[in-house]
A and B are shown apart, each in its own frame.
Chain A
């Protein structure tokens, strides 16, 4: 028996190709059924995300399984498929790397862990997994968790939106009760607002020089539009301000903010200035209870996080190598795992 893995990902195929091969959950059961009908394949788990379509299988004849997978995908899209494939032990190592985020487009991202878990559960529910696959995936989850807790591979945030969310969470904790005011209805502020929304923010106010644009964005993100003349009065009621207007000078100064702070009863205020030129006077950061971040400081934090993650790759790879050896040892101890007809 061999552990086998084949597929395509963001490194081997462009987005245009990947979107053709993406497998919806409704189709997956049928595909898994067809694959299992092939000789030599005992169990299979299929992972389909925006960055990869991969098959993990326990198979007596890996090449035959590869051929079957290739044919099925080719039939679906009507063109040739640029597939890569691995067998034991490389397939085991590959899965460990994928689940830990080492093979992801954004190094160390954690979403893939949930996606692998979901793919495995899907196969378990349909009874298309085998003992080696159970063991492999349980081991994979253990590896991913260990890497997450014992290394810095998931440390920090890697985009401006996620850095903003991380900072907000370090100030306020839960963001459910936070009120956000967006100044300027541009794409950057919208993306940042959506990142905050994804972490629980419910109350959003959008203010823009052109009121109709504020109304449009407010409708898109489920917020409330506000005339630009009134945004200053709302400072005392909001916790986070995202500013990205096209103003040629600072629209928020110490003098403007000072009177409102008295009414905030000690509540912290987080200001995210995404505008160039800046909308917020830098000296505002010196005020008690006010935390100001501009686009450069956010970008710097994101870059540093990525650097830290990169430095951790060697450590992660050595931990993974150790786990691969452990898994191979288990395979060797189980006689039903030790043979294959072709590999």
Chain B
């Protein structure tokens, strides 16, 4: 097994992981269509295999580059989808939210597919890689993994809320967890993401590395948006519905804006 893994082309592991995520999406889709959705071990297992294959890719890529494998936009997307998958494996198990896999897999698959289709032009390696900057970049992406899963949980919350409001719940209602649980999961993931993002900011500041004004401004905007959302929620100014909406909006805003910004600034993510 170890021998096989050693000789396994690392690009193949990426294709494999994509196939695993695709099969998770397919099984959920077929389940929904036949009204026989059975979320559970299959989703968890397939996503676990996908994460494992991605880990192999990231590890090999990192060893080849002697750096954290987040130097190209495709690598960044793979790292982000890997972080979302990893958080799902922990959160889905801890809170026994089996259906979260059916919601997470499409996002992970989309990120990974875009990564596979994008040209992987590498940024030139700097003469010496600053470990603080590496930590800053990696932690930021892991934080966005948490925010990504928070947005998934928020989507599930809004779907369940809509089901209950409709007075005519459909099949999915039976599989979705209680709203209060989804609210709690969203909130905890937002807090976790925010703490990780704050640490990553601190790590970015420490070596006094120059950053573009725009990158700093946008990062601060995203960080501040999360602070404001959490503050308003804890002060009971916004309810669970708006917390969910904000979690989705901020994450997808960040998902759109950072790749654009990276190409404009041409800087390290």
Contact = CB atoms under 8 A, between A and B. Distances in A.
B181 interface: yes
Nearest to A289: B239
Given A171-B179, A285-B167, A149 B38 contact: yes
Nearest to A157: B174
A170 interface: yes
Q: Which 8 A-B pairs have the closest CB atoms?
A: A266-B239, A173-B178, A297-B167, A265-B236, A173-B180, A291-B164, A173-B181, A171-B179
A155 B173 CA distance: 11
Nearest to A315: B36
A152 B172 CA distance: 12
Interface in B25-56: 35-36, 38
Given A266-B240, A289-B239, A170 B164 contact: yes
A288 B237 CA distance: 13
Interface residues of B, number: 23
Nearest to B164: A291
B231 to A, nearest CB: 14
Interface of A: 149-152, 155-156, 167, 169-173, 265-266, 268, 285, 288-289, 291-293, 297, 300-301, 308
B38 A171 contact: no
A117 B36 CA distance: 27
Contacts, number: 53
Given A170-B173, A172-B180, A268-B179, A289 B167 contact: no
B178 A170 contact: yes
Contacts of B167: 285, 292-293, 297
Contacts of B239: 266, 288-289
A156 B172 CA distance: 11
Interface in B89-112: none
Contacts of B38: 149-150
By CB atoms of chain B within 10 A, which of A169, A266, A288 has the most? Answer: A266
Count chain A CB atoms within 10 A of each CB in B169, B176, B177 and give the residue with the most: B169
A289 B36 contact: no
Interface of B: 35-36, 38, 160, 164-165, 167-169, 173-174, 176-181, 233, 236, 238-241
A27 B253 CA distance: 70
A58 to B, nearest CB: 35
A289 B242 CA distance: 11
Contact of A170 (B179, B233, B241): B179
A285 B176 CA distance: 21
A172 B240 CA distance: 13
Contacts of A300: 168
B169 to A, nearest CB: 7
A156 B240 contact: no
Contact of A288 (B178, B236, B241): B241
A266 B236 contact: yes
B185 to A, nearest CB: 11
A265 B169 CA distance: 26
A297 B177 CA distance: 21
B180 A289 contact: no
B232 to A, nearest CB: 11
20 contacts: A149-B38, A150-B38, A152-B36, A167-B164, A170-B173, A170-B176, A171-B178, A171-B179, A171-B180, A172-B180, A173-B178, A173-B180, A266-B236, A266-B239, A268-B179, A285-B167, A288-B239, A289-B240, A297-B167, A301-B169
Nearest to A301: B169
B160 A289 contact: no
Q: Which of B167, B173, B236, B241 has the most CB of A within 10 A?
A: B167
A132 to B, nearest CB: 32
B175 to A, nearest CB: 10
Contacts of B241: 288-289
A293 B167 CA distance: 7
A326 to B, nearest CB: 22
A308 B36 CA distance: 11
A152 B34 CA distance: 11
A202 B168 CA distance: 28
A288 B160 CA distance: 14
A340 to B, nearest CB: 40
A152 to B, nearest CB: 7
Given A152-B35, A288-B239, A289-B240, 10 more contacts: A152-B36, A170-B164, A170-B173, A170-B179, A171-B180, A268-B179, A268-B240, A291-B164, A292-B167, A293-B167
